[in-house]
Amino acid sequence: MQRIWKPFFLILWVFVLASCQTNQAASDTRPTGKGVQNVGSDTMVNLALAWAEAYQHEHPEFSISVTGGGSGTGIAALINGTVDIANASRQIKTNEIEDAQKQGINPVEFVVAKDAIAVIVNPENPVSQLTLEQISAIYSGKINRWNEVGGEDRPIVRLSRETNSGTHTYFLEQVLRLGQKGDKTLFSTDTLLMPSSEGIGMEVIQNPNAIGYDGLGYVTPEMKVIAVAKTAQGPYILPSVETVNDHTYPIARDLYMYTAGEPIGEVKTYMEYIASAEAQAIVEKLGFVPILP
């Protein structure tokens, strides 16, 4: 009996040990040994790349991989445990937090910069100011021609980011729906969905009938920026670092990074750098609004 029992016991012990190791590996879903993986918001991708390049220049032993794809893509990757940091130009949703917690991940939020969403048109367009209600009416399809808002008798070509974009979500909730919870207003079905912030800008520059929206860091001199007012009584405000900080420009937001739990090790060190004066100087250089005074 001993000759039969001993091998069986050893086999059983090896099986149990392997099973425990498998379960332990499954429970720790954070990437390890591959540097910092940073994925998400297309609005933030140039900023995130600039941060990574500057940090790696000072710390060549430190590896940071930065990829765009949209806020939704970054948050989904965080939930799946395939990234260390998710970039988002919108706040994480309740259902996303719940999905993450089901995977044993507790997302921790960091506000890393601020941004204004600029409403842009072609420089040939004589329209220079709009109210939030007019912008909502344009994008929902209630206003379809430029002469309805003081322009020429031309059709309006609506440009938007794709639905996985945090900028798209923010614009939908705060501009189309005017921040009213329960409002079900949607983008007009003929709205052209663009895969990138640069794509919106290029189309606006080429099309005199187009209207789009972009993060302030993507605005160039070839675009005309619309002054926006909360009501027809004004004031009509252009987006800038100053008007974001004094809360007079009505379409402004925070930009976020999310980590899987409180950051540790390399991720903690990198997040501390992003909050530093050096990193926040890069924020301002790229046209965004720093979180430091």
pLDDT of residue 246: 93
User: Which of 7-16, 27-36, 56-65, 254-263 shows the lowest per-residue confidence on average (mean pLDDT)?
Assistant: 7-16
Least Cα distance to 244 among 135, 115, 82, 58 occurs for 115
pLDDT of residue 30: 43
Find all residues with CB under 8 Å of 280, minimum gap 6, and list them. Answer: 113, 290, 291, 292
SS3 percent helix, strand, coil of the chain, rounded to 5, is 40, 20, 35
* Residue 8: band (very low, low, confident or very high) from pLDDT cuts 50, 70, 90: very low
Residue 23: is its pLDDT beyond 50?
no
CA–CA separation, 9 and 161 (whole Å): 61
85 with 109: CB under 8 angstroms?
no
pLDDT tens per residue, range 209-245: 999 999 998 999 999 999 999 999 999 999 999 999 9
pLDDT tens per residue, range 104-122: 999 999 999 999 999 999 9
Spell out the domains of the chain, with CATH numbers in brackets.
30-114+254-285 (3.40.190.10), 116-252 (3.40.190.10)
* C-beta atoms surrounding 263 within 10 Å: 19
Burial of 41 by CB count in 10 Å (0-12 exposed, 13-18 middle, 19+ buried)? buried
Residue 17: is its pLDDT beyond 70?
no
Q: What is the mean pLDDT of the chain?
A: 89
pLDDT tens per residue, range 158-215: 999 999 999 999 999 999 999 999 999 999 999 999 999 999 999 999 999 999 999 9
pTM, two decimal places = 0.82
Q: How far is CA 203 from the centre of its chain?
A: 21
